[in-house]
Amino acid sequence: MSASSLARREEISAEGDMAALTRLYLANERLVLGGSMVLLVLVVWEGFERGWWADLLQPLLGSSAQRLRLKPIFISSPTRIARAAFQMFFVTGEMWCDLAWSSVGYFLGLALAIAVGAPLGLAAGWYRRLSYAIEPFLSALNATPQVVFLPLIVIWAGTGMSARVLIIFLLAVLPIAISTFAAVRTTDPRLIRVARSFGASDGQLFRSVILPSATPFLLAGLRLAIGRGMIGVVVGEIYGSAAGVGAMINQAGARFETDRVFVGVLTIVAAGVMLVEMLQRIERRVEVWRPRA
């Protein structure tokens, strides 16, 4: 094989590679751009803590470049956070304990909110007079940031588990009640009339018309409630609690252990993403029977 043909073949294959690369990039543009941006931010962040930028710009800016070297208690760094996370999850294992403590409060509060909010919303949607009666309370509570009740809850229930369950309940119950209410109100009146004229009882009507058409609203309310509940966990715990992820964040913050604060925040991010993902799975399963609109 002559040298020139080999060179040409390499050229061709390089061209082909370029085209393939471009195609690959275009197909995964979102992943590539998003991923590289995240990577860039992580590197810049790490660089501030390790003083890479300070050293790099030293010749240009002189001694003022050292201002770019930031103290770890101020910003921590990705590697420090990773190390702290490993330590807390797998060496000492303290994080599992906090996580368990927070989850118990979270799920109790959420369950209570569903147990109260859904029947309340259904009843208010069904009985017009009841909705008139509870409406002022619901709309006033809805406009209020419900965490203002925290000092009162602490007076009533102390700073233990029950206070936390109460604040999570308070935050999560409104979206559930309101969306259930809206669900009943927006049920197709023709369906109700048809069922009625075929002599369906209230119970049958509820099971076979109202409940199925209310499910998407219920799930939407639940999705809002999941987010509100997370606020409840964090706020309830940072305001006065001995255990839980929020309490851990609070204590670490007070001691300027920024690495541990970040580990806590990221744990909550992960939990939030996971819960929303789970709910979406449920939503898809529940909605399988519905003909596509």
Partner 1 sequence: MTTRQVEEGSSALSAFARLKIEPERVLIGGGTFLAFLLIWEALARSGLVDPLFISSPSRVALSGYALMRDREFWNDLAVSASEFAIGYIAAAAVAVPLGLAVGLFKRLRYLLGPFIDTLNAVPRVTLLPLIIIWLGIGIWSKVAVVFLGAVIPIAISTQSGVHTSETRFIRVARSFSASRMKIFFTIVLPGSVPFMFTGLKYGAGRALLGVVVGELYAATAGLGHMMADAGNSLQTDIVFFGVAIFMGAGLLVVALLDALERHFEKWRPHAR
Contacts of 131 (CB under 8 A, 6+ apart): 124, 125, 181
Neighbours of 238 (CB within 10 A): 18
221 binding partner 1? (CB under 8 A): yes
What distance in Å separates the CA atoms of residue 280 and residue 273, rounded to the nearest whole number? 11
- Find the binder of partner 1 among 136, 199, 203, 291 (CB under 8 A): 136
- Find the binder of partner 1 among 133, 242, 278, 282 (CB under 8 A): 133
Scanning 12-20, 53-61, 78-86, 228-236 for contacts with partner 1 by CB under 8 A, the matching segment is 228-236
What angle separates helix 258-286 from helix 78-86, to the nearest 10 degrees? Answer: 80
Enumerate residues 169-188 that contact partner 1 by CB under 8 A.
Answer: 175, 178-179, 181-182, 185-186
82 binding partner 1? (CB under 8 A): no
33 binding partner 1? (CB under 8 A): yes
Closest CB to partner 1 among residues 93, 145: 145
Scanning 9-17, 81-89, 191-199, 261-269 for contacts with partner 1 by CB under 8 A, the matching segment is 261-269
- Find the binder of partner 1 among 48, 101, 169, 217 (CB under 8 A): 217
- Find the binder of partner 1 among 60, 143, 288, 293 (CB under 8 A): 143
19 binding partner 1? (CB under 8 A): no
Scanning 2-10, 193-201, 202-210, 260-268 for contacts with partner 1 by CB under 8 A, the matching segment is 260-268
What angle separates helix 161-185 from helix 211-238, to the nearest 10 degrees? Answer: 150
Question: Closest Cα to residue 286, out of 214, 201, 221, 229?
Answer: 214
68 binding partner 1? (CB under 8 A): no
- Alpha-carbon dihedral 32, 35, 41, 45, rounded to 10 degrees: -130
Tell me the two tokens of residue 117.
Answer: 């909010």
Task: Give CA 254 to chain center in angstroms.
Answer: 25
What angle separates helix 161-185 from helix 94-126, to the nearest 10 degrees? Answer: 40
